[in-house]
Chain A
Amino acid sequence: MEVCGGQTHAIVRWGLEQLLPAGLRLIHGPGCPVCVTPAATIDQALALAADSGVILCSYGDMLRVPGRGPVGPLSDLLKVRAAGGDVRLLTTPLQALDLAQQHPDRQVVFLAVGFETTAPATALLAQQALALGVTNLSLLLAHVRVVPAMEAIMAGPHNQVQGFVAAGHVCAVMGTAELEQLAARYRIPVVVGGFAPRELLQAIQVCVQLLEDGTPRVVNAYGRVVRPEGNPVARALLERVFAVADGPWRGLGTIAQGVLELRTAYRHLDARQRFGWLAATPHHPALAAVAAAEGPCISAQVLQGLARPGDCPAFGTTCTPEHPLGAPMVSSEGACAAYYHYRP
């Protein structure tokens, strides 16, 4: 299993599976931050964005992700924006601080998603907001941790994964210590891989070699970027602002130690606390429209590696990047989008 959606994207884009020998099958992992952000969080973002007192900001890919409700006039952030909601696209979280200072009369909410790759930048934003005493900025937090999800996949009853190509960018921040524990506990090879086609092929080859040799362990095949200790500055920042908690991944359910939450000193920045009505019975139009069912979309199985995008009856017919039924068809790192765009 290649863990990261960026790797899946590169594998499909370059048609690397066409080069692999028979008997070797790649299972696409859950490493797409957009795809695993809980639908309930998207619904909360939609409700906030529809509030005229709020500026809702996030990364580009998030703006297209549908919530739980049926496709309709308010079913993603771009549509809420078209309907008059103030939705802004950020390229770095600190821009949210600028927005808050430019609009003191409004509440700026940053929908903070992503793995350990983007979490340090959110931590920096939280730290600055605290230091400056900004009162009109809050975080709708959906940061998740990758290794616990790998662990959950290994522990799952239908697991087929025999080796991991681990997400190079996450390891660049977190290092390889967590992976060592995973490899030892499940006696499974874990190869830290990059994103270029040659780097991916090399990581796959190392993984196969470890399996053939019967020596499951961690190998860093992305040494030009990843050091064993990761990035100590970023890790210290994460440690200061966030605590580890059990929490939901879209498609995977609750993952033990799988999410980040704000530590007490930063808790006042939590949008769910500031906007208490988010947790209450849905009374907002955007929330009221929400139905619990996700329809025919099988993204949960796709995200666990139990099904391939092409197995889905909706793939390429009723589900396309223009009219996505599930998040993996939306994100540039989603497996369904990669298959749709690249596979002949």
Chain B
Amino acid sequence: MSGPPDGVERILLGHGGGGTLMQQLIEREIHWLYDDPHGVLHDATRLELPHGRLAFSTDGYVVHPLEFPGGDIGKLAIIGTANDLAMAAARPLHLSVALILEEGLPLELLRRVLASMAAAARACGVSISTGDTKVVERGKGDGLFVTTSGIGLVETALPVDPLAIQPGDQVLVSGDLGRHGLAIAAARYQLDLQPPIETDCAPLWPAVARLLAAGVEVHCLRDLTRGGLGSALQELAQDGGVELALEEAAIPVATAVARSCELLGFDPLHLANEGRFVAVVRADHGERALAVLAPAGGACIGTVRACSGRGEVSGRQASGGKASGGKGPGRVLLRTALGTERLLVPFSGEMLPRIC
């Protein structure tokens, strides 16, 4: 947000000052976003919640650029937290939205992001129940940061987490991989990808609900956000103390995504997704789960095995990976289309386009 002064309406430092300017900003631009049944701006909202087990999640959103092909930070912030709830097998119900605005942010951009948040909330079936707005000095933010927290109702009695993963379980993904990460990279590095790739950002609860409704015994769910499939599966393998054996040929990656990745030196299995998840289901429920996920491009990509990792490998991964409270080292093996085997390790660092 540098450059010569122009006639654009922008966020001023005073918009965060707590005075009338702030009141005007909230009343005119932001308040409409919140589902405030009592019509009063109060310090906390009161919720009528159904009985049962609740899931609670929070996430901060920083993305550059703020708008990218197929989405923006607002859509991401609503859908991302709703999806985190869905991964706990919980129907997302209520979200909070906290905005940190940087002085100089064009008001029109804020309006677009808020409209996109409202649309995303409708798509997820959640209400935006409470929130907060702050303004920071120019140079102390990246235009706009968003934090959302959410409450959801858990809709299954069985535990859905890495410790529930059993040898023999089937591993499925809900759709093709890599679109979001590639769309962001293209926008960030001004890559003119042909054909253009849009983010896959989309609510995950509907697919999870269909799995549960179909009677699939789901042992674990994980959305494939930053770090992609590679990082998510490595976490599951470590936390669950199991080995995941994948068939590379079965992992869905769109041709356009695969080609761009080859050119840029990216691995689609490490690219972020915002509308994809992996489901680990009971051994004999793979077919049933596939029937639910296949129409949207889902696929069965592998199976869970008891851990047989060699010491050298597990030691290496344990040293590079995070400390986990899991049962053992765990690892992810990939059988290539040629019948050879390789490791799938978590992504590390920052994804940078390669040299040649």
Residue total for B at the interface (Cβ-Cβ under 8 A): 27
Using an 8 Å CB-CB cutoff, how does the interface string of B295-316 with A read, 1 for contact, 0 for none?
Answer: 0000000000000000011011
Contact A197 B191 (CB under 8 A): no
A201 to B148, CA, bound (A): 51
One of B315, B341, B345 near A18 (C-beta < 8 A): B341
How distant is B107 from chain A, measured CB to nearest CB, in Å?
26
Contact B343 A317 (CB under 8 A): no
Contact A60 B352 (CB under 8 A): yes
Using an 8 Å CB-CB cutoff, how does the interface string of B321-355 with A read, 1 for contact, 0 for none?
Answer: 00000000000010010111111010011101111
Contact A322 B348 (CB under 8 A): yes
A14 to B337, CA, bound (A): 8
Contact B191 A91 (CB under 8 A): yes
Contact B338 A91 (CB under 8 A): no
Among A287-328, those with CB < 8 Å from B are: 316-317, 320-322
Residue among A12, A59, A62, A117 with the most chain B CB within 10 A?
Answer: A59
Flag whether A114 is at the interface (Cβ < 8 A).
yes
Flag whether B255 is at the interface (Cβ < 8 A).
no
A297 to B309, CA, bound (A): 27
Contact B355 A344 (CB under 8 A): no
Contact B353 A317 (CB under 8 A): no
A14 to B336, CA, bound (A): 6
Known contacts: A19-B340, A89-B189, A342-B343. The answer to whether A317 contacts B352 by CB under 8 A is no
Flag whether B190 is at the interface (Cβ < 8 A).
yes
**Chain A: interface residue count, which band?**
35 or more
Flag whether B196 is at the interface (Cβ < 8 A).
no
Residue among B189, B315, B354, B356 with the most chain A CB within 10 A?
Answer: B356
| Nearest-CB residue, chain B, relative to A9 | B265
Contact B338 A19 (CB under 8 A): yes
Contact B345 A340 (CB under 8 A): yes
Flag whether A333 is at the interface (Cβ < 8 A).
yes
Flag whether B319 is at the interface (Cβ < 8 A).
yes
Which residues does chain B contribute within 8 Å of A340, judged by CB atoms? Answer: 316, 345
| Nearest-CB residue, chain A, relative to B351 | A60
A117 to B356, CA, bound (A): 7
Which residues does chain A contribute within 8 Å of B350, judged by CB atoms? Answer: 78
Flag whether B320 is at the interface (Cβ < 8 A).
yes
One of A18, A34, A61 near B340 (C-beta < 8 A): A18
Contact B319 A14 (CB under 8 A): no
A15 to B355, CA, bound (A): 23
Contact B338 A14 (CB under 8 A): yes
Known contacts: A91-B189, A317-B319, A344-B313. The answer to whether A59 contacts B343 by CB under 8 A is no
Which residues does chain B contribute within 8 Å of A118, judged by CB atoms? Answer: 355-356
One of B191, B340, B353 near A15 (C-beta < 8 A): B340
A78 to B352, CA, bound (A): 11
Flag whether A169 is at the interface (Cβ < 8 A).
yes
Which residues does chain A contribute within 8 Å of B354, judged by CB atoms? Answer: 59-61, 331-333
Flag whether A33 is at the interface (Cβ < 8 A).
yes
Contact B338 A15 (CB under 8 A): yes
Contact B353 A59 (CB under 8 A): yes
A60 to B352, CA, bound (A): 5
Contact A89 B345 (CB under 8 A): no
How distant is A280 from chain B, measured CB to nearest CB, in Å?
29
Which residues does chain B contribute within 8 Å of A210, judged by CB atoms? Answer: none
Flag whether A125 is at the interface (Cβ < 8 A).
no
Contact B319 A320 (CB under 8 A): yes
Q: Could you pull out 8 A-B pairs where Cβ atoms are within 8 angstroms? A: A14-B338, A18-B340, A61-B355, A64-B349, A316-B312, A316-B316, A317-B315, A321-B348
- Kindly list 6 other residue pairs between chains A and B, CB separation below 8 angstroms, not including A114-B355, A317-B316, A322-B320: A19-B339, A321-B348, A321-B349, A322-B348, A341-B345, A344-B341
Interface residues in chain B, defined as those with a beta carbon under 8 Å from any beta carbon in chain A: 189-191, 265, 312-313, 315-316, 319-320, 333, 336, 338-343, 345, 348-350, 352-356
